[in-house]
Amino acid sequence: MSWLRRLALIALCLGVALGQARATETKRPNVLFIAIDDLNDWVSCLGGHPQVSTPNIDRLAKRGVLFTNAHCQAPICNPSRVSLLTGVRPSTSGVYDLNQPLRSAPALKGAVTLPANFKAGGYHVLGRGKIYHGKPYADEWHDFEVRPDARNKQFRVKTISRLPKIRVRDFGPIDLPEEQFGDVINAQWAAESLQRDFGKPFFMAVGIRLPHVPLYAPQKYFDRHPVKGVTLPRIRPDDLADLPPAGIEITRYMDKTPLNHEAILKTKSWHEAVAAYLACTEFVDRCVGLMLDSLDKSAHANNTIVVLWSDHGWHLGEKQLWAKRSLWEESTRVPLILAGPGLAKGQCSRSVQLLDLYPTLAELCRLAKPPQTLEGHSLLPLLRQPSASWAHPAITTFHRNDHTVRSERWRYIRYANGDEELYDHSSDADEWHNLAKRLEYRPVIADLKSHLPKVNAPNAPSR
């Protein structure tokens, strides 16, 4: 065989191999990964508040599977996000608080994060906004940028609410065009990027900062919620009466800040705070809509999985608590939606957790197994059939050895000092009645307790 024919044959083989590789790549779905900060169940499709309107999140929910009983791994930003992005529980990693960097945790040495795995798997990996709590690791992305949020200038100049010394936890309308809000800027960047051809599948992460404090949005979003007509959360004046000492201690955290229940009541600001959260949530929905509209018009419309999640919930007076940092439903429950090619449509009431996203996306996108053990479970059975059986409760950890186990019916809380709480969600969705001391529920507690983490790692190093 002449060298020319040999060269032609080699070229043909290379061409076939390249064509096969490209064909394989086109079969793998893209991922639009939308992370929302501090969004609780106050979205229309979850029914968390009767006056909220979130048509864009709702239409995404109708396209795929809406998990109505999804929970975070930690009710605070950094450990929740570290857990999701590594697939490792806070109790295993020792990352329990805000100032513990992922790469400083001995248990996570060598761990491959979700975006890094996508990058290693041949995806084009890009993002904007808050994905990590803090700056992203540049080596995990092809393109990532975090920009300052112009809305944060307001509380540094003059606060809006009546609470004294409120600063970053301020709330109310501000005179800033929505095009200058960081969330709109990031959503528009995503909308533009979705029109690109990357030549390979992409993983696009977009972090939406609201409704994290300060609860600022343009006036038009507040106009939809006149203060006098705002519906407040359902509460009981004696709700704390049956809490153990460790539970009471959790409700005292925000007392050390200007945003606490006593200050809200004293300044008669409850309606304004609720209106601000509703306005910011609807502003977030607007940002989601910008991305979905662009995706629908793009060449990627039929080959993109959309994942929408929040890192934890938020209290607005329930159990006399504000913000997050608790092991109750308002802190742990989060919106979670997966929609895309080959996935079912419907609602799923099984208890799932953000920890499940890493193994789920790894399976859907055929990523390599990372060196660390993924402690969640692939949601693929539920994404194929939302009513499928599911034997895994959701576990949330707040501080070392403080855990809650959430099944489809029950919430069990076990604090480090041995204090316990038990709530039956089939009859007590507000978690008003702590059943832990009633003898007839000891078998229930014993079953739920068996799911508590067996490892409670020491605190990872802080910054």
Kindly report the CATH number assigned to the domain that includes residue 105.
3.40.720.10
Number of compact structural domains in the chain: 1
* Residue 65 belongs to some domain of the structure: yes
| pLDDT given at position 151 | 94
**Per-residue pLDDT of the chain in tens (463 residues, 90 and over written 9):** 333 223 332 332 343 344 434 444 458 999 999 999 999 999 999 999 999 999 999 999 999 999 999 999 999 999 999 999 999 999 999 999 999 999 999 999 999 999 999 999 999 999 999 999 988 889 999 999 988 899 999 999 999 999 999 999 999 999 999 999 999 999 999 999 999 999 999 999 999 999 999 999 999 999 999 999 999 999 999 999 999 999 999 888 888 899 999 999 999 999 999 999 999 999 999 999 999 999 999 999 999 999 999 999 999 999 999 999 999 999 999 999 999 999 999 999 999 999 999 999 999 999 999 999 999 999 999 999 999 999 999 999 999 999 999 999 999 999 999 999 999 999 999 999 999 999 999 999 999 999 999 999 999 999 8
Containing domain of residue 365, as a range?
28-399
* Residue 14 belongs to some domain of the structure: no
**β-bridge partners, 33:** 205, 307
From the number of C-beta atoms within 10 Å of its C-beta (0-12, 13-18, 19+), residue 391 rates as exposed
| pLDDT given at position 26 | 52
* Residue 92 belongs to some domain of the structure: yes
| pLDDT given at position 263 | 96
* Residue 17 belongs to some domain of the structure: no
* Residue 35 belongs to some domain of the structure: yes
> Is cis: bond before 214, omega within 30 of 0?
yes
**β-bridge partners, 198:** none
* Residue 377 belongs to some domain of the structure: yes
| 263 vs 361: CA distance, rounded Å | 43
State the catalytic residues: 77, 133
| 123 vs 106: CA distance, rounded Å | 28
**Long-range own/partner contacts, residues 261-269 (CB < 8 A, 24 or more apart):** 261/317, 261/320, 261/321, 261/322, 263/163, 263/164, 264/163, 264/317, 264/322, 267/161, 267/162, 267/163, 268/162, 269/161, 269/162, 269/163
* Residue 355 belongs to some domain of the structure: yes
CB atoms within 10 A of CB 347: 15
The alpha-carbon radius of gyration of the chain (Å, integer) is: 23
Angle made by CA atoms 106, 111, 112, in degrees to the nearest 5: 155
* Residue 426 belongs to some domain of the structure: no
Q: Is 289:280 a contact under the CB 8 Å cutoff?
A: no
